[in-house]
Structure 1
Amino acid sequence: MKKVQVIQTSKFSAEKWAHKNDLILEKESNEAGSVISVDPTKEYQEWLGFGGAFTEAAAYSLSQVSPSKREEVIHSYFDQTDGLGYNLGRTHIHSCDFALENYTYVEENDNSLESFSIEREQKYVIPLIKDAASIANQNFTMLASPWSPPAWMKTNGEMNHGGKLKDEYRQTWANYFVKYIKEMEKTGIPIWGVTVQNEPAAKQVWDSCLYSAEEERDFIKDYLGPTLRHHGLEDKKIIIWDHNRDLMVERATTVLSDPEASKYVWGTGNHWYVSEEFENLSKVHEAFPDKHLIFTEGCIEGGVQLGEWHTGERYARNIIGDMNNWLEGFIDWNLVLNEQGGPNHVGNFCDAPIIVETKEDKIHYNSSYYYIGHFSKFIEPGAKRIAVTSSLDKVSTTAFKNKNNDIIIVVLNETDEEVDTKLNLEGYQTNIQIPKRSITTYII
């Protein structure tokens, strides 16, 4: 006889992460009916963890509230007991759209990079990363991504509006990655890996730079990979694509089919904009099973949406969809934004799981915060995904086994109907009720 812990969040209940009465798994009956069945003997990928992005906007927003509120937000994400248990982070190599302005770390036309300095990040971003790492209190993993090379290295002469890296600056730009990693590590922040370029197929009004699949492949094999290796940084993970699922198969195929590029690449990063073609992750995994898959960015666009429920559901639907197709880690976009959904130097305002009212010194926790927690608080780094099948169309589900053998099952119900079904594990089962517009985590 096994107990099942039940943790639930529902649109129609004020309680979040509510601990319901334990259920008991009993010998399976032969009654007909729907069932969610878990098979812990079938194991898939190992889980790296969850995290969010340390943007200048997030760090600046937290500098505009009281120290106690800033500390509360950091604990809410990185505390391993009371928070979301985050252990991953992403930050931008000089400016992105969620910065106060366009900026770089070098003076114009400094091809030698002698003027390279990350002093600007010492004001907001680096202190936030350090404070988060001290609270995470485990193997804290930082990913860094560039949105654009400096304007003088680009074909369009500006950081915004796309453009490309000029051929004659490819080595300089590879050297820039090395400088960044080494300077960050001098401050006590180890960089686990880098993406080659944030959203390399998108010409945006903000910091952006275009790479075709062939250009990304060649930059890795001829410049970035060899340069990191030459400087003793071959342990740094290189992640390609860092863009949407719709074209990830084509991008991965071009880059990873070339052994001279592939040998430097850890895996493929994906975002959630445009489409929910989760099966594309499996296609990449099946073609390149020795490579890894990590979610590197997703957010709710169009400004702050306080109190909305669909935002949390979008997070859970995407997390489950990607997890069930070989994803190994999930990094959200901005950890926190202000009441406007910024700051953002081109007005591309978005939502975040936590919003701070800087004038009122208040913190708002969105549904997305609680929905992420249904995964991140219980599925631990090192957990293995296990098989789960459902005879229900109305719910989606995923399951993991932690290193201590706890089995974690997450069930999402986005419909306006309560669902009654059975949970089955190795010949034992229990009846479960899944409220409408809810998410439930079961721990066995």
Structure 2
Amino acid sequence: MNTKIVSALVSAALITAGCASSKPASQNAAVKPEPVNVSGLEVYTTAKDTDLRLSKTDNRQFADGSQPSEGEISIFVNPQVTFQEIIGIGGAITDASAEVFAKLPADKQQELLTAYYDKDQGIGYSFGRTTIHSSDFSSGSYTYIDEGDAELKSFSIEHDRQFRIPLIKKVIDAAGGHLTLFASPWSAPAFMKDSNNMLKGGHLLPEYADSWAKYYTRFIKAYEEEGIPIWGISVQNEPMATQTWESMIYTAEMERDFIKDHLGPALHNAGYDDKKLIAWDHNRDLIVERANTILGDPEAAKYVWGIGFHWYETWTGGDPKYDNLSLVHESYPDKALIFTEGTNERFTQEKYQYWPNAERYGDSMINDFNRGTAAWTDWNILLDQHGGPNHVGNFCFSPIHGDTSSGELIYTPTYYYIGHFSKFVRPGAKRVSTSSSRSTLLSTSFINPDNSRVSVVMNKTDKPVEYNFFVNRQEVTLTIPARAMQTLVY
């Protein structure tokens, strides 16, 4: 990381971390009886075609506000109304990330850990995901058992001890000794499937459902014996996608029945009732049907903590289906929403600094949080100069790339856009009522456990925008550059 970036990040350090909550997200608005008064406000900005990268750009004082006109652009925050509790923000520690990390010089390894997990000098990741055996972002397919071992007698995570487990342990240390981590499988072992192949879809054979359910509990036990606590698991990564890589299909009814008849009881019997079970773990397009099927069944719903989702429904050429999140949130307010994966596909080095990649993150994070999402997880924290390794050629972007030839780290705009949330919105924060008078600006707000308040504002237009920022009836007038993200701390 160059000196200018380090300086900008160090100067951005304002708030202290809260403790990650293991409780389900609070889903009901709570109205506080007293108004919240604010005085000073600090602004941090990242903007296209500038040197601004999480840079402190303003320090202002609020004044008594006046009624804005319809011709002005205004953002209104009401700190008296709060919504869901935020569990954390972070990214996935995959085999690919761990393999690239291991090839970097020691000083660059430390730089990466600081950049992601230090809340003062970096962007303060507090949340993470990992895989249960291989995914496409592994150098090859593998499982933790010998093929055909339905009794799991050969179960071993020895494979992960080479790269992934050492990286996760370093991440936990860099994050201050705690990381909220969940794990997801991409496929059952080949012999447990009707296709006899870990790749290209296929279904779990009924006779192996109990064995596969026990496999999750063995994974949890093995990782926790390594000193890596597992906060939760998802049932299946992308259960409706037949991919060229590890994948396995569940219809809504199949996933419901696997949860209530096999996986839920297996977790209970192993003493893992406290682990958060995440259903769906796929795109927003079919999330309502999946939630209705699983959460509409009391015997399945009692095991499910929340519904996970990805952002890839736009593969059809349509827009993100944010309204589907609202419907799930309103229909099942006692269950959490969690963004479990998103990445920019079709890697090419020419797009390292491609601004729309970052704006995709900003758009999703603001809209997802405003619809009740309690945690937000990026995909790989680190990939190489080819967008891998990936054993089926599915190369993608990550916020930081490590060039294994030169030993250098490449920071993309996405890193900073995520940082506008993860650095300032700490675990235990609650989302606060926020509205914008124009579609020109997107915004969301939070109150942290230390009572600091954070608003994130995004401008996707090609022109700077002047806007009134109201907190209750107090006001300050600000300007956000073109193609920019701002975090306001007050």
Q: TM-score, normalised by structure 1?
A: 0.99
Shift of 1:30: 3.9
1:115-140 deviation digits (Å, cap 9, x = unpaired)? 00000000010001000001111541
Number of the residue aligned with 2:12: none
Cα deviation, residue 31, structure 1: 5.1
Cα distance in 2 between the residues matched to 1:161 and 1:113: 24
Q: CA deviation at 1:29?
A: 2.7
Indicate the residue corresponding to 1:251 in structure 2: 290
How far apart, in 2, do the equivalents of 1:82 and 1:182 lie?
34
1:292-323 Cα distance to aligned partner (Å, 9 max, x none): 01100000000143111111111010000100
Query: Aligned residue for 1:203?
Result: 242
Q: Is the 8 A contact 2:277 2:304 kept in 1?
A: yes
CA distance in 1, matches of 2:283, 2:298: 24
| Equivalent position to 2:313, from 274, 279, 290 | 274
Are residues 1:157 and 2:196 paired?
yes
| 3-state SS of paired residue (1:63) | helix
Instruction: List structure 1 runs of 4+ shifted beyond 4 angstroms.
Output: none
Matches within 5 A, 1:169-318: 169-275=208-314, 276-304=320-348, 305-318=351-364
| Number of residue pairs aligned between Structure 1 and Structure 2 | 444
Letter of the 1:425 partner, please give it. V
Which region of structure 1 is more displaced relative to structure 2, 199-208 or 429-438? Answer: 429-438
Candidates 402, 408, 418, aligned match of 1:362: 408
Worse overlay, 243-252 or 80-89 = 80-89
Counterpart Cα distance in 2 of 1:403 and 1:138? 19
Distance in structure 2 (CA, Å) of the matches to 1:111 and 1:421: 62
Deviation of 1:405 after TM superposition, in Å, equals 1.7
Q: Structure 1 regions of 5+ residues with no counterpart?
A: none
How far off is 1:274 after superposition? 1.6
In structure 1, how many angstroms separate the alpha carbons of the residues matched to 2:64 and 2:391? 60
Deviation at 1:67, TM superposition (A): 1.4
Provide the C-alpha distance between the structure 2 equivalents of 1:40 and 1:87, rounded to a whole number of angstroms: 24
In 2, distance between residues paired with 1:15 and 1:414? 16
Distance 2:122 2:411 in 1: 12
Q: Name the counterpart of 1:77.
A: 116
CA distance in 2, matches of 1:191, 1:441: 31
Q: Establish whether residue 146 from structure 1 lines up as the match of residue 185 from structure 2.
A: yes
- 2:431 maps to 1:385: yes
- Per-residue CA distance 1:330-389 (angstroms, 9 max, x = gap): 110000000000000000000000001000011000000000000110011111101111
CA distance in 1, matches of 2:68, 2:93: 51
Q: Which residue of 1 aligns with 2:381?
A: 335
Find the residue that maps to 1:265 and give its secondary structure. Answer: coil
Secondary structure of the structure 2 residue equivalent to 1:242: strand
How far residue 418 of structure 1 moved from its aligned partner, in angstroms, is: 1.2
Distance in 2 of aligned mates of 1:167 and 1:146:
17
Deviations for 1:180-229, whole angstroms, at most 9, x for unmatched residues?
11011110011111000000000000000000000000000000000111
Q: Secondary structure at the match of 2:233?
A: strand
* Counterpart residue number, 2:157: 118
Structure-2 change in CA distance of 1:95 and 1:429 (3 Å): same
Using the alignment, how far apart are the partners of 1:302 and 1:40 within structure 2? 41
* 1:103-114 alignment runs, 5 A limit: 103-114=142-153
- CA deviation map 1:47-88 (0-9, x unaligned): 011111111000001111111111111111111211111111
Which residue number corresponds to residue 166 of structure 2?
127
Aligned equivalents of 1:377 and 1:200: distance in 2?
Answer: 32
Structure 1: how far apart are the matches of 2:73 and 2:111?
42
What is residue 17 of structure 1 aligned with on the other side? 54
Report how far residue 89 of structure 1 moved. Answer: 1.0
2:471 aligns with one of 425, 428, 431: 425
SS in 2 for 1:131: helix
CA contact (8 A) 1:64 1:358 kept: yes
| AA at the equivalent of 2:62 | L
Q: Give the whole-Å Cα distance in 2 for the aligned partners of 1:380 and 1:50.
A: 8
Counterpart secondary structure, 1:211: coil
Letter in 1 for 2:274: D
Provide the C-alpha distance between the structure 1 equivalents of 2:56 and 2:249, rounded to a whole number of angstroms.
Answer: 48
Residue in 2 that maps onto 1:91: 130
Q: Distance in 1 between matches of 2:196 and 2:68?
A: 69
Unpaired stretches in structure 2, ≥5 consecutive residues: 1-37, 315-319
Give the drift of 1:15.
2.5
AA of the residue aligned to 1:157: N
Contact 2:313-2:321 within 8 A present in 1 as well: no
Shift of residue 34 of structure 1? 2.4
Q: Is the 8 A contact 2:256 2:300 kept in 1?
A: yes
CA contact (8 A) 1:142 1:193 kept: yes
Q: How has the CA–CA distance of structure 1 residues 25 and 149 changed in structure 2, closer, same or farther, with 3 Å as cutoff? A: same
Q: Is the 8 A contact 2:68 2:74 kept in 1?
A: no
**Residue number in structure 1 paired with 2:85:** 46
Q: 2:64 aligned with 1:27, yes or no?
A: yes
Q: What is the CA RMSD across the aligned residues, in angstroms?
A: 1.0
CA–CA distance in structure 2, aligned partners of residues 429 and 370 of structure 1 = 27
2:416 and 2:155 map into 1 onto residues whose CA distance is: 40
Distance of 2:360 and 2:54 partners within structure 1: 18
Are 1:197 and 1:240, in contact at CA under 8 Å, matched by a contact in 2? yes
Q: For 2:295 and 2:282, how far apart are their aligned partners in 1?
A: 16
Q: Is the 8 A contact 2:384 2:402 kept in 1?
A: yes
1:166 and 2:208 correspond: no
Q: What is the alpha-carbon distance in structure 2 between the residues aligned to residue 34 and residue 172 of structure 1?
A: 58
Secondary structure, counterpart of 1:389 in structure 2 = strand
Aligned partners of 1:113 and 1:176 also within 8 Å: yes
Aligned to 2:419: 373
Aligned partners of 1:87 and 1:138 also within 8 Å: no
